[in-house]
Copies of this chain bind each other. A is one copy, B any other.
Amino acid sequence: MANQTSHHFSSVMELIDGNRIAADIVAELKTEIATLPARKPCLALVRVGDDPASVSYVRKKEQTAAEIGVTSRVILPPVSISQAELFALIDQLNADPEVDGILVQSPLPKGIDEVAVFRRVSPDKDVDGFNTLNLGKVAQEDETGFVSCTPAGIMELLARSGVDLKGKHVVVVGRSLIVGKPVALLALQKKAGANGTVTVCHSATANLPALTRQADVLIAAIGRAGFVTGEMVKPGAVVIDVGINRVPDASKKSGYRLVGDVKFDEVAPHCAKITPVPGGVGPMTVAMLMKNTVKAFRLRGT
């Protein structure tokens, strides 16, 4: 790996442009929604309290919904809401025939059981894909379920970049319920584009570099800035960086910049394809949320 510390980019290296791919999906959905004769899909966005990241995420979701013609309904309960009150609110949305999708923005205040809240959302409106039943459907390869937006976005990025996982060794670093486990189950599925051989590594893995170096497709979802170094990646690999980490940067007005789990400058030069951070997996999340909302609308048949 002579070029590991060089910043010379291989002529065959291709940047996977998440912004462009997400924009394509959003445009496709806009066209699809424009053909609907009457009622448009409606997404309920529940944001508890005023966590700054949540404010920004929910605003972005609202904007994208407006852009494509999905009606959104933003509900802003106070941070003091009890779990029982939040359940009652979700039950109302579950029962509301005008609502197709429900997203409860994470994180929730301490004292509220997130998994229980996600399980309260009716599975057929669970456009975030966090309901236990929808997780089970991912394992069952049941297409009537909803796949959570980040792993679904990763699969879409790969498909739209011409990466077929069949016969490939996919190594996932990180075993979270939000990314690592569902993307491993998706990569294993028997459907076209999937059929990968899948390894899941994590904090308890012995000799991690020996495993990551075997990856034809490496998915980094650890949540640690620059964790994946050049020597951990096989030349010619496809690298998907799921991390979004803030590192201090005095040159920025905000005082920080966003970096991924992958040391981009070291890894990119000898990759076949790689996602940047920002602009890789991140933009896909909102696009897939919109795709799930339209799917929920269609499946409900209203």
CB atoms of B200 and A198 under 8 A apart? yes
Q: What residues of B have a CB within 8 angstroms of the CB of A136 in the complex?
A: 131-137, 139
Q: What residues of B have a CB within 8 angstroms of the CB of A188 in the complex?
A: 175, 181, 200, 202
Q: A188-B175, A200-B198 are in contact. Are A135 and B142 (CB under 8 A)?
A: no
* Residue of A133, A166, A168, A177 most packed against chain B (CB within 10 A): A133
Please tell me how many copies of the chain the complex holds: 2
Interface string of A133-163 (1 = CB under 8 A from B): 1111101101000000000000000000000
A129 to B142, CA, bound (A): 17
**A236 CB → nearest B CB, Å:** 15
A185 to B142, CA, bound (A): 18
CB of A201 within 8 Å of the partner chain: yes
Q: What residues of B have a CB within 8 angstroms of the CB of A198 in the complex?
A: 199-200
Among A73-128, those with CB < 8 Å from B are 115
CB of A72 within 8 Å of the partner chain: no
CB atoms of A139 and B197 under 8 A apart? no
Partner of A167, one of B167, B175, B205: B205
Among A188-220, those with CB < 8 Å from B are 188, 195-202, 204-206, 211
A211 to B211, CA, bound (A): 10
Q: What residues of B have a CB within 8 angstroms of the CB of A201 in the complex?
A: 197
**A142 CB → nearest B CB, Å:** 7
CB atoms of A115 and B140 under 8 A apart? yes
Partner of A133, one of B132, B166, B169, B182: B132
A202 to B194, CA, bound (A): 12
Chain B residue at smallest Cβ distance from A200: B198
Chain B residue at smallest Cβ distance from A181: B139
**A69 CB → nearest B CB, Å:** 32
The 8 A-B pairs at the shortest CB distance, nearest first, are namely A136-B136, A132-B136, A135-B136, A199-B199, A195-B204, A197-B205, A167-B206, A135-B139
Jot down 15 A-B pairs with beta carbons below 8 A, ordered by A: A132-B137, A132-B140, A135-B140, A139-B181, A139-B185, A167-B204, A167-B205, A167-B206, A169-B206, A184-B200, A188-B200, A197-B200, A197-B201, A197-B206, A198-B200
